[in-house]
Structure 1
Amino acid sequence: MKTPEQVRAEFLRRGISISEWSRKNGYSAALVYQILRGGKSCLRGQSHEIAVKLGIKPGIVCDIDEFSAELAAEALKEPAALLG
C-alpha cells in the first residue's frame, strides 16, 4: 500500500495532475484531494473506489450487481458443501 504522500509524488513523477486523473476516472477532483489529505474514511462508494485505485487501501472495486451475483453464487455452493 502507498501513503497519500507517495501517491502525490507519483503524480508529480509522471507529470499528471490530480485534477486530470480525477476527470479521466470520472471522479470529483475535490473528493480525490480530500482523500489525499486524509479527510475521508474511504469505507464505501466513490471514496473507497478512489482509495483502492490509487493504492492507498486494499480492497476490491466492483459494482453492486457484480457483488450480488457473487454472493448468490456462493450461497448456491454452501448447501452442497454441507451435504458432504
Structure 2
Amino acid sequence: MAITVEKLKENFAKNGQTLAQWARDNGFKPRDVYLVVGGQRKGNYGKGHEIASKLGLK
C-alpha cells in the first residue's frame, strides 16, 4: 500500500534521516528524489518509478 508524501516526510523526520542521505544510500541523485517527492516527476516509469517504489509512494 502506498503512503502519502506527508507521511513519508514525517517518517524521515522521526528517524532523523534526510531525503538526500536516503538517495545517496540507495544509489540515486538527491535531486531526482526531491523531484519525485515534490511531484515534479510523477514516477510512472524509469528511474522516477524506481524511486517512488522504494520510498513506498507507489
Tell me the TM-score normalized by structure 1. 0.64
Gaps of 5+ in 1: 58-84
Hey, what does 1:4 align to over in structure 2?
A: 5
Identity of aligned residues (%): 35
Q: How does 1:61-80 map to 2 (within 5 A)?
A: none
Q: Distance in 2 between matches of 1:41 and 1:20?
A: 21
Matched AA of 2:49: H
Task: Indicate whether 1:45 and 2:46 are aligned.
Answer: yes
Q: Distance in 2 between matches of 1:8 and 1:35?
A: 13
Matched AA of 1:37: G
What's the CA shift for 1:5? Answer: 1.2
Task: Indicate whether 1:54 and 2:55 are aligned.
Answer: yes
Higher helix fraction (1 or 2): 1
Hey, what does 1:63 align to over in structure 2?
A: none
Hey, what does 1:34 align to over in structure 2?
A: 35
Larger radius of gyration: 1
Hey, what does 2:25 align to over in structure 1?
A: 24
Give the root-mean-square deviation of aligned CA atoms.
0.8
Runs of 4+ with deviation above 6 angstroms: none
User: What SS does structure 2 have at the residue aligned with 1:22?
Assistant: helix
